[in-house]
Each structure stands twice: as C-alpha cells, then as structure tokens.
Amino acid sequence: TQLLEQSPQFLSIQEGENLTVYCNSSSVFSSLQWYRQEPGEGPVLLVTVVTGGEVKKLKRLTFQFGDARKDSSLHITAAQPGDTGLYLCAGIETYKYIFGTGTRLKVLA
Amino acid sequence: NAGVMQNPRHLVRRRGQEARLRCSPMKGHSHVYWYRQLPEEGLKFMVYLQKENIIDESGMPKERFSAEFPKEGPSILRIQQVVRGDSAAYFCASSPGSDNSPLHFGNGTRLTVT
C-alpha cells in the first residue's frame, strides 16, 4: 500500500513567518501534486511537479520534488492569513491519486 | 457553473437506511473518483470510474457500498444499511484522464448517521 506521510500535521504561526511542509513516501511516484482545501470546500490544485529535483514557484509558495521522486516539500514565505487551510500532497501513479495525511495550517494576523 | 456538482451537501440518515450521493463531473470529463474524508484527515481513495465502467474499487468496502457512472446522468455512490461509522465527508472529483491532469473536486456531501 502506498502511503504519503505529511509533517507537521498541524501548524499555527504568526503572519509574516516562513514555514515548510513535508510530504514523504517510501514509494516512487511519476508525479506529485499539492492541493489546498478550505473548510466546507473541496481541495483545489496548487501545482504539479513531474521531474525529480524540480522546483516550482507560485508567488510566495515554493514546491520541490525530491530527486528520487519519493518526497516533496512546500515552503511558504511571509505567510498571510489567507494561506490558512489544509494542505494535501497527492502522489500520482498511472490513474491513481494517493493523498497524503494533510497539514492543517493556521496563520494568525 | 461548469464545476463538479455534488448533492446533497448534507445528508442525515438513521442507521439501517440507504444513502445516495450524486456527482456531476465537469463538462467534458469522463473520469470520476470518489474519496472519503474524516475530520482533520486526508482523503482516502474509494473508487475510480469511467463512463459505464468501474476501473478500480479497491478502496471501497465490498459490502454495502456501490458506485456507478452511467452513460447518461451523474455518478452515484450508494451506501446501503448505513452505520454510524459511515459518517464522513464524501468528495467526488473528475478529470479528463490525461497524464498528470488535476482533479477537480466538488464541495462534498457530509453524511451524518444518527
């Protein structure tokens, strides 16, 4: 069974701080996606990373795919209250999207 | 609204009743996934369907749970004889099926079994 463990599980920080969320697996994935989910809504895609070692930036968010394509990280610079939400990584292998355990982020004003 | 539509948003059932959850995928999408989510947890895969076919139901309990995606109409997730442990949010997602395509999620159905 493929498992994706995310850490930390919960994170509460002040506005303006930086943070990193990790997504780790013992399995290799062909690609990996990050989603953000807000209360009462479905997850929304943030980014897809495909190549081992790939780094993608989306404004204040930086995503990295590990060289071995087993892990990924999400770094947020100068967090804002609008970044609050549940962050989910999803490993993709053929048609299967395996979601991680989630990191719930709360950014305090 | 061309997004994924799920209904009902909230569903309350007594133990032993049946629950029917509906999902209309995005226009042009022929691939549908169902996931289950408990509070403060990630999404657990249940079933993957293409039009008229179940491709992978490995995450769905063999008893009481069934899913379909007919040629016409929405995808249906059916839970018979519900028990309290079935209480959860059930999310449907659709995709066009191409490599690495994003999943487009509905806003879920929150099932409460009393």
Give pLDDT tens digits for B52-72.
Answer: 899 999 999 999 999 999 999
Using an 8 Å CB-CB cutoff, list chain B residues near A41. Answer: 107-108
**Residue B2: is its pLDDT beyond 90?**
no
Residue with the two structure tokens 């995310």? A6
At B41 the pLDDT is 82
Among A4, A6, A92, the residue with its CB nearest the CB of B100 is A92
At B97 the pLDDT is 83
Rounded Cα–Cα distance for residues A60 and A57 (Å): 7
Which 3 state secondary structure label does DSSP give B77? strand
CB pairs under 8 A between A and B: 59
Residues A13, B38, A15, CA angle at the centre, nearest 5°? 10
Contact across the interface for A40 and B107, Cβ inside 8 Å: yes
**Which candidate in B10, B103, B107 is best for mutational testing of the A interface (most A CBs within 10 A)?**
B103
b/e A82-109 (16+ beta carbons within 10 angstroms → b):
ebbbbbbbbbbeeebbbbbbbbbbebee
Q: pLDDT below 70 — which residues of chain A?
A: 1-2
